[in-house]
Amino acid sequence: MTSTISLNQVNLPAVAGLVAAIQAAPAKAHTKWSSDVRWTGAFQTEASVRNFDAIRSDEPATLGGSDTAPNPVEQLLSALGNCLAVGYAANATIAGIAIDELSISLEGDLDLHVFLGLAEGHAGFSAIRAVVDLQAGASDEAIADLHAKVAATSPVGHTLNAAVPLTISPR
């Protein structure tokens, strides 16, 4: 990696430092992330993450909420889009590709039968589609390689594509 921070506004020295630290001590790659969610009434919640302002959630009025914030499935789609955007910024920068514009549109199909207790089965998305609009000064081959690299390395994408053990337990 190069040690510039000018391409795509990515701090490459910080990323290079992390890579070097993990190469020197592979156990440093094993990280934990957390969020604490507090119910605030009706279908509204607030998620606390590190030292940031609370991330609010609510349901649309059609689902009985007050429509004061995005709902959890919208936040999940946003998390995937945010993760993909970071992947594009990082991998384009490493490849020396300047990004002119990047936007990602996401949508997912969700059948509410299970959520509403009207059926048994899978309550989550049956499909998620992400459409990436990337404008960059690179060859079609370099852009195709970039798309493949991002799809192959997205932590949120991999989490959504794989069966991940989930434990929900009372305290």
- Residue at token pair 């993760």: 83
Contact 8/93 with Cβ under 8 angstroms? yes
Given a cut of 70, whether residue 69 has pLDDT beyond it is yes
Question: What pLDDT, on the 0 to 100 scale, is given for residue 1?
Answer: 46
pLDDT in tens, 84-120: 999 999 999 999 999 999 999 999 999 999 999 999 9
Q: What is the chain's mean pLDDT, rounded?
A: 95
Contact 55/49 with Cβ under 8 angstroms? yes
- Whole-angstrom CA distances from 157 to 57, 128, 162 are 22, 10, 9
pLDDT in tens, 113-152: 999 999 999 999 999 999 999 999 999 999 999 999 999 9
Contact 4/15 with Cβ under 8 angstroms? no
Share of the chain above pLDDT 70, in %: 96
CA distance 76 to 6: 31
Given a cut of 60, whether residue 16 has pLDDT beyond it is yes
CA distance 134 to 11: 20
Given a cut of 60, whether residue 4 has pLDDT beyond it is no
Residue 18: pLDDT band (50, 70, 90) is: very high
CA distance 73 to 56: 13
Question: What pLDDT, on the 0 to 100 scale, is given for residue 161?
Answer: 94
Domain locations in the chain as residue ranges: 1-31, 33-69, 71-171
What CATH code would you report for 71-171?
Answer: 3.30.300.20
Question: What pLDDT, on the 0 to 100 scale, is given for residue 163?
Answer: 85
Question: What pLDDT, on the 0 to 100 scale, is given for residue 62?
Answer: 95
| Nearest residue to 3 (alpha-carbon basis) of 86, 87, 93 | 93
Assign residue 50 a region (left: φ > 0; alpha: ψ between -120 and 50; beta: otherwise).
left
Given a cut of 50, whether residue 2 has pLDDT beyond it is no
